[in-house]
Amino acid sequence: MIVDTSVLIDFLKGEDTRETRVLAELEGNGFQYAIPLICLQEVLQGARDHKEWKLLEQYLSSQVLLEPQDYKATHVAAARLYFDCRRKGVTVRSAADCFIAQIVIECNGKLLHSDKDFDRLKKVCKLQTI
């Protein structure tokens, strides 16, 4: 399972959502999940101070971190996702979400998220979600 920034932030803030409950159950059972490197960046960018930064970095670094095998090809494919969405009248707010979706597709993974961009992307590509 691959976890998006939207769920990580809610989980770390102690929010009670369907997605955070899924993540809590997996963690409680010792299941290790994967995080795209860009999600690590997005979460760390939200740190409020040095102490929180260190805690977040330590926690996130203990997970499996995903990166594309071929950055250029993944970026080109993510741009194509964005392009295809626009041509089909589907609005995706974040190019980063296209990049995350492409990483998930390349890994044949399933994405745990709470971001409407991924619901929109599923209309155009083979993104699998939980």
| pLDDT surpasses 90 at 18 | yes
pLDDT band at residue 112 using 50, 70 and 90 as cut-offs: very high
The verdict on whether residue 4 carries a ligand-binding annotation is yes
- pLDDT of the residue at 23: 96
- pLDDT of the residue at 69: 92
The verdict on whether residue 49 carries a ligand-binding annotation is no
User: Domains in the chain, please, with CATH?
Assistant: 2-66 (3.40.50.1010), 71-121 (no CATH)
Q: Which of 19, 129, 34, 118 is nearest to 78 (CA)?
A: 118
Question: 41-62: b or e for each residue (b if 16 or more CB lie within 10 Å)?
Answer: ebbeeeeeeeeeeeebeeebee
- Give the count of beta carbons closer than 10 Å to the beta carbon of residue 3: 22
Name the residue type at position 3. Answer: V
Q: If you average pLDDT over residues 66-76, what whole number do you get?
A: 96
Give the pair of three-digit tokens for residue 118.
């991924």
Contact in structure between 110 and 117 (CB atoms under 8 Å): no
How far apart (Å, rounded) are the C-alpha atoms in residues 84 and 63?
A: 32
Q: If you average pLDDT over residues 45-73, what whole number do you get?
A: 95
- pLDDT of the residue at 31: 87
Contact in structure between 34 and 3 (CB atoms under 8 Å): yes
